[in-house]
Chains A and B, each alone.
Chain A
Amino acid sequence: MADIVLDKVGKQYPDGTVAVRDVDLEIADGEFVILVGPSGCGKSTLLNMIAGLEDISSGELRIGGERMNEKAPRDRDIAMVFQSYALYPNMTVRENMAFPLRLAKLDKATIDEKVAEAAKVLELTELLERKPANLSGGQRQRVAMGRAIVRSPKAFLMDEPLSNLDAKLRVQMRTVVSRLQKRLGTTTVYVTHDQTEAMTLGDRVVVLRAGVVQQVGDPQTLYDHPANLFVAGFIGSPAMNFLSARALDGALRTALGDVPIGDRLRGMLERGEAPQEMILGVRPEHFEDAALVDEAARAKGREFEAPVELVESMGSDKYVYLTVEGERASSAELEELAADAGAADLPAGGANLVTRLSAESRVREGGPYKVWFNLEKIHLFDPSDGRNITLHEGRAAGIS
């Protein structure tokens, strides 16, 4: 076991494309770190560089305090689980798991013992004599994990290990991975494009965009205090709502009505630290049925009325889709996020608002409905560079 330190690590291909730019990251011994981002953000490249499967163009990689840049993968003593599992099809499950031990030239008794132990942990004992072709997707995935844990490496690298499983199995395996990592206490770097996996699995999450680290932090911090528009839009499901907002006469004009501006923001506007045109971000759960909000809470927020387009009742709560007038917020980050979610070609129209209301709400489709939202939880972003204006000393401060 060891810590992993990335010191200004970068990757540039011979044709000039930069896949990863100056990544600084310290992963503590035993920590579970998630690299997350849309496809093509450089997360897999970064993982392959830690593994030694791709050369590091600049910066330094240290594992357990030792420089690893020039070392071959076999000398780094780290194991990797591939998205495709990459099981050796000509070998049985037992031979697959024994392969790294055989290469390490351990004696047969030790190999048998270690394989049996790993097989027990992953409930593979009955499958040891089977070939990968005769295993289900979930079983193959477990064999791939078994091959990684069997030789107790310094660190695990996982490249979207669950993305080929069906939804139900993925949720199950997520807990298996999590428990396994806690039990073994091995430093783990896990790559995924699924923000739910990132939120649920990791001690810390690294959000990457176009090879640049956007924010590093524990899942709750990323969720509550996103550093920029990209992180705000990427983390959370359903995603944060974005609306355009304009500062005018001491108030913020938005499609949800006028919002008073606090002292801090006014000061920033006066000093030119914040633009007049901004993007307002509100998470779906920070809305509530106005009829259900008590007097004390009402003062902290604002009410507005909008036609209800669709109601999805989840039992525990209701997703209500509202149509509000006004321009759709636009920026490079939002377009990228929409493209990644495949939503770029959804029909345009009034800005659609996703809200999550209590299950007791009597909201009906069709007519207009009164909805309240919490002013303390809103974010404002600068459309030009995406930075979170409401972030004060790393915490989201609302528009106070």
Chain B
Amino acid sequence: MESRGAKWRWGLLDVVVVVFALIPVLWIMSLSFKTTNTLTDGHFIPREWTLENYKTIFQTDQFVRALVNSIGIALISTLIAVVLGTMAAYAIARLDFPGKGLLVGVSLLIAMFPQVSLVSPLFDIERRLGLFDTWPGLILPYITFALPLTIYTLSAFFKQIPWDLEKAAKMDGATQGEAFRKVIAPLAAPGVFTTAILAFIFCWNDFLFAISLTSTERSRTVPVALSFFTGDSQFEDPTGSISAAAVVITVPIILFVLFFQRRIVSGLTSGAVKG
């Protein structure tokens, strides 16, 4: 048991961290509900409430198109990365093949590579291949950078699953495929969902690739679209609509996490082996 004093200190520290993290979010929300005239009045709680900003962004084609692009690109990239990552991670966790260490090393290297240095070459390559300003043009680099993450986290998950279960399934009459589908995959599910969330957030939040590899609304994602927001006139401040859009684009992430969180049941493998 920790002493009461220690508990209080930890509690206080937690509160400080949470407040520090949440204030900017709350500030953005507050801005999104303010009218143009009160935007800069410095009050945390808006004096005049309005939904005008939200109406505006959904009326502009610019934002809705970007939202569709973002959802589509992030979902497709996540799906492909997780499927490929699952297979690769399973092989890494279970098999001893030559060059395994090298493979894991290289994939980690990719994750650590500064993305900004890849932007110019990618820009050239994609323009020549006709991928520039298309969905695949963003999906490909996203998969590339999400894969190391998925492989690494998933192989850790697979390593936790007792190998005896797979042997038992084989003895019970399962083929390799059945053993994977009926025994291993259900147990790896929490890991797969966790990884899917991480990969999705990475794709959803990316700004660097999105701004460099797109040029029109055809494939521009929300983070980029936000930066192109302008007021109705040259003299109007777009802060209100940017804030509203920022609030809107956090919603899918929250939904995504909530949806998968229920599947991340901790201790799913407990009871499998000894006691």
Contact = CB atoms under 8 A, between A and B. Distances in A.
A51 interface: yes
Contacts of A136: 275
A104 B173 CA distance: 7
Nearest to A88: B183
B17 interface: no
A164 B170 contact: no
B172 A103 contact: yes
B9 interface: no
11 contacts: A72-B175, A74-B174, A86-B167, A86-B272, A87-B273, A99-B169, A99-B182, A103-B174, A133-B270, A137-B274, A147-B168
A304 interface: no
Interface of B: 162, 164-165, 167-175, 178, 182-183, 186-187, 267-275
B111 to A, nearest CB: 31
Given A86-B165, A88-B183, A89-B187, A80 B271 contact: no
B271 A133 contact: yes
A147 B172 CA distance: 8
Contacts of A151: 173
Nearest to A53: B167
B269 A89 contact: yes
Given A73-B170, A74-B173, 11 more contacts: A53-B167, A72-B175, A74-B171, A79-B172, A87-B271, A87-B273, A99-B182, A103-B174, A134-B271, A140-B271, A164-B274
Contacts of B175: 72, 74
A88 B164 CA distance: 10
B275 A89 contact: no
Nearest to B167: A53
A84 interface: yes
A78 interface: yes
Nearest to A99: B172
Interface string A243-254: 000000000000
Interface in A78-119: 78-80, 82-90, 99-100, 103-104
Given A80-B168, A82-B164, A86-B164, A103 B173 contact: yes
A103 B162 CA distance: 21
A50 to B, nearest CB: 11
A297 interface: no
Contact of B167 (A82, A90, A132): A82
B164 A103 contact: no
B275 to A, nearest CB: 4
A131 interface: yes
A28 interface: no
Contact of A84 (B169, B173, B267, B273): B273
Given A80-B168, A86-B164, A88-B165, A100 B173 contact: yes
B170 A53 contact: yes
Given A84-B273, A147-B172, A90 B187 contact: yes
B172 A84 contact: no
A89 B173 contact: no
A79 B170 CA distance: 10
A72 B176 CA distance: 10
A74 B166 CA distance: 12
Contacts of B168: 80, 82, 86-88, 147
Contacts of B267: 133
A86 to B, nearest CB: 4
B275 A164 contact: yes
A388 to B, nearest CB: 38
A5 B187 CA distance: 37
